[in-house]
């Protein structure tokens, strides 16, 4: 069958991905847009969706979407579920539409009251991972701008913590005194692991160790690629030290793109914690399919 019967959307702050789905869950096509939530007002979402979907809407009038499209600044706010909660929501929020027969369901995010924390979009990746790993219990790490550590058990999100490690790397490497010392790309694994170990052993010294990156270049001529790995190692090391209750003695898996996951895999391996990786896009789509299946049910 080549005619789509419904559409899956991953609509974030900066872009949107749309998939045409067959009746049996097969992906029949993919389209993208750079019109993310951050550039749209609530009345503009429907027009963007219609433009991107185009001829798919001839046969596919139901859309299941995840991500920032359901935030307070998105198309319509999809209120958070409160953890502990099921990874796949019992209910979704329907967005207001004017197009005839178009029905858009938005997957809610998850919140935690103590300590206060939120996620929106990651819950769908988690649902996709559990859909493909039936009965899996343990901890999932989702690296990114705001890295999530999530304890899942019996099909539920039990608890989670968010670390701004990715954003801190971007700010320090691009807008602090360290911007003169950090390469745009490249890697030094030995430097990364040494810095990670230093940060884990004395996380309270992080601020001083960060400045030593700049001083090392001025005094010893440290190259910018080595400095990049040094900064990454310090920040991820501090994160691993703080997240130790999540990964120590636990079954761990990582969800994300290879480039952003690789340092976490390396860092955890150095602590004797094997951490297989699952692809973020694959897990997102699997999670949307799981939500659609509940909608049908």
pLDDT tens sequence across 214-236: 999 999 999 999 999 999 999 99
Integer Cα distance of 188 and 19 in angstroms: 38
Are 6-116 and 163-278 in the same CATH fold? yes
pLDDT at res. 296 = 73
Which residue ranges in the chain fall short of pLDDT 70?
1, 297
Are the C-beta atoms of 28 and 20 separated by less than 8 Å?
Answer: yes
pLDDT at res. 90 = 81
Q: What class is the 6-116 domain? A: alpha beta
How are beta strands 147-153 and 156-163 bridged, if at all? antiparallel
Q: What class is the 163-278 domain? A: alpha beta
pLDDT at res. 88 = 85
The domain segmentation of the chain, as residue ranges, is: 6-116, 163-278
């Amino acid at each position: 069958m080549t005619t789509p019967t419904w559409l899956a959307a991953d609509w974030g702050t900066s872009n949107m991905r749309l998939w045409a789905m067959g009746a049996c869950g097969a992906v029949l096509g993919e389209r993208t847009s750079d019109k993310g939530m951050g550039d749209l007002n609530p009345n503009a979402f429907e027009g963007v969706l219609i433009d991107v979907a185009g001829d798919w809407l001839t046969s596919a009038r139901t859309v299941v979407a995840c991500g920032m499209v359901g935030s307070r600044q998105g198309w319509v706010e999809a209120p958070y579920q409160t953890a502990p909660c099921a990874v796949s929501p019992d209910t979704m929020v329907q967005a207001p539409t004017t197009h005839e027969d178009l029905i858009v369901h938005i997957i809610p995010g998850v919140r935690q009251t103590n300590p206060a924390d939120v996620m929106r979009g990651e819950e769908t990746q988690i649902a996709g991972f559990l859909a493909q790993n039936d009965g899996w219990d343990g901890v999932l790490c989702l690296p990114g701008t705001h890295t999530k550590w999530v304890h899942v058990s019996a099909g539920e999100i039990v608890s989670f913590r968010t670390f701004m490690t990715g954003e801190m790397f971007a700010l320090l490497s691009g807008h602090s005194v360290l911007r003169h010392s950090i390469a745009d790309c490249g890697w030094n694994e030995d430097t990364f692991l040494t810095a990670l170990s230093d940060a884990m052993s004395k996380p309270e010294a992080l601020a001083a160790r960060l400045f030593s990156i700049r001083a090392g270049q001025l005094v010893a001529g440290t190259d910018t690629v080595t400095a990049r790995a040094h900064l990454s190692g310090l920040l991820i090391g501090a994160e691993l030290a703080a997240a130790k209750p999540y990964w120590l003695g636990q079954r761990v898996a990582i969800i994300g793109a290879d480039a952003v996951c690789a340092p976490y895999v390396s860092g955890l391996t150095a602590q004797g914690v094997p951490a297989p990786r699952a692809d973020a896009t694959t897990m997102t789509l699997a999670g949307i399919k799981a939500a659609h299946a509940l909608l049908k049910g």
